């Protein structure tokens, strides 16, 4: 047995928790599409257990294929009567795969290069996102997508361009002034790497809305990426390296507020990441316990309401990690309903993954597209002009898919609609006056 199999062998009790009932199968998007038992949670757990026990080599093509195909949406955890911690087992499996995959695997080498030499370096990451924003803001992504060159670009490259283009603002920036801090509870904003790199407007809207609800908001300057991309790719040591820095950066007792479901779910697993670290276990667990989505934080204070500011109908797609990782999907939808009023239309299948799953849409494009097609079909049924979702990856993925499918759809974060409603109603102006008095 390869020594790297220990990552799964050490999870024996979690693997044995599965009672093989099969209730997870219909909740799994990949199983529903393929009908293959190995593309469902139960089948993948069989493969994990076989590798852990040495009955299957970690280099097995079956193990790699079916683990790689998993979206990691964790919908299976919601319906599992045995409480199998599937998300943690999946990350351990991908850690095994990371070491087992041949060094000649170009896609894996490129992924590890990016994660290790760009995502672990805040300076390089700022340069990367700065260049990405410049490429987007100059209209180069849009130009390539619309030009004759589009036919020469591979489908994967075309989708990557559409992802970047879909990170553009859904609404014109009206130049709302930054709100002064209010007298109230202190909270710390986790800005996120993609969040601050491509969606800084969402962070600004989050600050304004929190301050209008009497929270003192600060953004720790030494924070780094949450580590989700590393964990999902099996680089758990890289995830721990980032987590250590964030634990130091957020060293206080104040709530840690996020506006990204993927980041929030990852931050809440720091306790698990360091469970066997005698020096950090307690501190990491306390860190995770302080994490909450912006919608959850607003509910603690009795969120101020404002009438809808738009005429378009709005629908909502729940980020999987917000729903299953943070258990905050309902709070986010309630927050959105306060801003959209009678313009809100419920979306069928909102609990189903959209197919983004970090960089899954680029690593597994065919399966990702099949999952996305189901989501787009449900969105069309609503006839809504705006879709709100609480995760930047989902926002880019659905936006890219809708654009390439010729749909007229604006995609945004729910907090952006709350922010617009507050501005339209004059609430910010009133908050400013209250702060001055």
Per the CB < 8 A criterion, the answer to whether 95 and 61 are in contact is no
Give the domain-ending residue among 46, 81, 101. Answer: 101
State the Cα–Cα distance between residues 144 and 167, nearest whole angstrom: 16
390: domain CATH number is: 3.40.50
If we measure between CA atoms, which residue out of 215, 295, 216, 290 comes closest to residue 250? 290
Residue 289 sits in the same domain as residue 371: no
Residue ranges in the chain whose pLDDT is less than 50: 1, 3, 433-437
Residue 249 sits in the same domain as residue 334: no
- What pLDDT does 437 receive? 33
DSSP code of residue 147:
S
Residue 418 sits in the same domain as residue 311: yes
- What pLDDT does 297 receive? 96
State the Cα–Cα distance between residues 12 and 430, nearest whole angstrom: 58
**β-bridge partners, 292:** 257
Per the CB < 8 A criterion, the answer to whether 388 and 359 are in contact is no
State the Cα–Cα distance between residues 328 and 292, nearest whole angstrom: 8
Burial class (CB in 10 A: 0-12, 13-18, 19+), 408: exposed
Domain presence at residue 166: no
Place of tokens 């697993």: 269
Give the domain-ending residue among 101, 134, 154. Answer: 101
What is the count of structural domains for the chain?
Answer: 3
Give the domain-ending residue among 300, 316, 346. Answer: 300
- What pLDDT does 256 receive? 98
Residue 338 sits in the same domain as residue 268: no
Residue 317 sits in the same domain as residue 332: yes
Per the CB < 8 A criterion, the answer to whether 72 and 87 are in contact is yes
| 75: containing domain | 3-101
Residue 250 sits in the same domain as residue 333: no
Residue 288 sits in the same domain as residue 326: no
- What pLDDT does 434 receive? 45
State the Cα–Cα distance between residues 115 and 21, nearest whole angstrom: 37
Cα→Cα distances 300→290, 293, 294, 297, Å: 13, 11, 10, 5
- What pLDDT does 156 receive? 87
Residue 135, token pair as written in the block:
């490429």
pTM of the model: 0.92
Q: Is 135 helix (H, G, I), strand (E, B) or coil?
A: helix
Residue 48 sits in the same domain as residue 82: yes
Residue 415 sits in the same domain as residue 309: yes
Domain presence at residue 145: no
- What pLDDT does 50 receive? 93
Q: Which residues neighbour 412 within 8 Å (Cβ) at sequence distance 6 or greater? A: 170, 171, 386, 387, 388, 395
- What pLDDT does 173 receive? 63
Cα→Cα distances 167→135, 163, 358, 363, 428, Å: 12, 7, 15, 20, 26
Model confidence pLDDT, tens digit, residues 223-276: 999 999 999 888 999 999 999 999 999 999 999 999 999 999 999 999 999 998
State the Cα–Cα distance between residues 54 and 63, nearest whole angstrom: 13
Residue 417 sits in the same domain as residue 313: yes
- What pLDDT does 234 receive? 87
Per the CB < 8 A criterion, the answer to whether 337 and 303 are in contact is no
Q: Which residues neighbour 76 within 8 Å (Cβ) at sequence distance 6 or greater? A: 24, 27, 28, 41, 84, 86
48: domain CATH number is: 1.10.1060.10
């Amino acid at each position: 047995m390869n020594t790297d199999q220990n990552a799964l062998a050490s999870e024996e009790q979690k693997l044995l928790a599965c009672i093989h009932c099969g209730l997870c199968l219909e909740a799994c998007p990949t199983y529903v599409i393929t009908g293959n038992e190995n593309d469902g949670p139960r089948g993948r757990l069989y493969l994990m257990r076989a590798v852990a026990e040495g009955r299957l080599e970690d280099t097995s093509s079956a193990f790699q294929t079916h683990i790689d195909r998993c979206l990691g949406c964790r919908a299976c955890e919601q319906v599992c009567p045995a409480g199998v911690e599937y998300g943690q087992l999946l990350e351990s499996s991908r850690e095994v795969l990371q070491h087992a995959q041949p060094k000649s695997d170009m896609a894996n080498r490129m992924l590890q290069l990016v994660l290790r030499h760009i995502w672990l370096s805040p300076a390089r990451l700022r340069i990367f996102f700065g260049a990405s924003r410049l490429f987007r803001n100059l209209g180069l992504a849009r130009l390539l997508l619309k030009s004759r060159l589009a036919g020469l670009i591979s489908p994967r490259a075309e989708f990557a361009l559409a992802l970047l283009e879909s990170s553009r603002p859904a609404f014109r920036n009206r130049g709302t002034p930054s709100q002064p801090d209010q007298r109230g509870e202190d909270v710390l904003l986790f800005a996120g790497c993609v969040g601050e790199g491509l969606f800084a407007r969402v962070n600004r809207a989050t600050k304004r809305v929190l301050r209008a609800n009497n929270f003192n908001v600060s953004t720790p300057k030494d924070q780094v990426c949450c580590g989700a991309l590393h964990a999902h790719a099996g680089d758990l040591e890289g995830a721990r390296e980032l987590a250590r820095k964030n634990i130091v950066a957020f060293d206080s007792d104040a709530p840690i507020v996020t506006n990204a479901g993927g980041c929030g779910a990852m931050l809440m697993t720091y306790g698990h990441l360091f469970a066997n670290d005698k020096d950090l276990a307690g501190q990491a667990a306390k860190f995770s316990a302080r994490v909450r989505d912006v919608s959850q934080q607003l509910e603690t204070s009795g969120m101020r309401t404002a009438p809808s500011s738009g005429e378009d109908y709005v629908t909502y797609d729940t980020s999987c990690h917000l729903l299953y990782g943070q258990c905050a999907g309902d709070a986010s939808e309630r927050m959105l309903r306060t801003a959209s009023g009678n313009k809100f239309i419920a979306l069928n299948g909102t609990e189903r993954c959209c197919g983004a799953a970090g960089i899954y849409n680029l690593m597994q494009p065919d399966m990702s597209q099949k999952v996305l097609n189901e989501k787009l079909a449900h969105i069309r049924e609503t006839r809504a002009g705006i879709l709100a979702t609480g995760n930047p990856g989902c926002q880019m993925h659905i936006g890219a898919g809708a654009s390439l499918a010729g749909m007229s759809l604006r995609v945004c974060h729910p907090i952006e609609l709350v922010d617009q409603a507050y501005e339209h109603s004059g609430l910010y102006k009133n908050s400013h006056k209250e702060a001055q008095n």
